[in-house]
Structure 1
């Protein structure tokens, strides 16, 4: 009978430890679910990122060719445009020889003069 008491106490200790681990696991799961829900809400509520620069295209001989780099809100860009990243806009103006729009002056915003 004396052997059963220590074994019973050991089993109770193991049970307490397992209960503690289960609570800890449940808390971690709850925290991760909260983070995922917040990320999903943020993804639904944030507006899509508007590109800062646009490349207007000109039709020459039936084939569109790059015309000028514009800021995203320039009214002179027209309808035939494509979005540009900052790096692409810099490269277009400095390396590719595409002109900067004289009205919205994207070269000023990009630091190219």
Structure 2
């Protein structure tokens, strides 16, 4: 008989531990749901990050040195290549309007800059 009591006590201990784990899991789920809801609210209320621009430089055939500006791109444009220089808004605007540098036809930085 003592064997059955021992087994019963063991199962009650396992049950108590499982209930404790379940409460911890429920608490963790509730906390993650609160964090996710807060992040969603913040994303809806936060203004978008300011746009950046970059100047792609032409490459010469041999040594890989720059031959001059090629085009103005938005900072997230994949066509700009690796040989670029970051530009402030005013610099990008001046490059397109005054310096005659072309705007990328794919990412259209001239639209964001209000040049059209």
Q: Where on the TM-score scale, by shorter chain, does this alignment land: which range?
A: 0.5 to 0.7
Residue equivalent to 1:32: none
Residue equivalent to 1:80: 83
Residue equivalent to 2:54: 54
Equivalent position SS for 2:54: strand
Please, what is the CA RMSD of the aligned residues? 1.9
Unaligned ranges ≥5, structure 1: 1-48
Q: In the comparison of the two structures, how many residue pairs are matched?
A: 65
Structure 1 108/51 Cα, relative in aligned 2: closer, same or farther at 3 Å?
closer
1:98 to 98, 101, 106: 101
Instruction: Please state how far the C-alpha of 1:60 moved relative to its aligned partner.
Output: 3.1
Q: Is the 8 A contact 1:54 1:81 kept in 2?
A: yes
Equivalent position SS for 1:97: coil
Q: Which segments of structure 1 move beyond 2 Å, counting only runs of 4 or more? A: 60-63
Could you give the per-residue CA deviations for residues 4-56 of structure 1, whole angstroms, max 9, x where no partner exists? Answer: xxxxxxxxxxxxxxxxxxxxxxxxxxxxxxxxxxxxxxxxxxxxx98700000
Unaligned ranges ≥5, structure 2: 1-48
**Aligned equivalents of 2:80 and 2:50: distance in 1?**
15
Residue equivalent to 1:40: none
Equivalent position SS for 1:103: coil
Equivalent position SS for 2:73: strand
Q: Is the 8 A contact 1:51 1:83 kept in 2?
A: no
Structure 1 81/51 Cα, relative in aligned 2: closer, same or farther at 3 Å?
farther
**Aligned equivalents of 2:97 and 2:103: distance in 1?**
10
TM-score (norm 2): 0.52
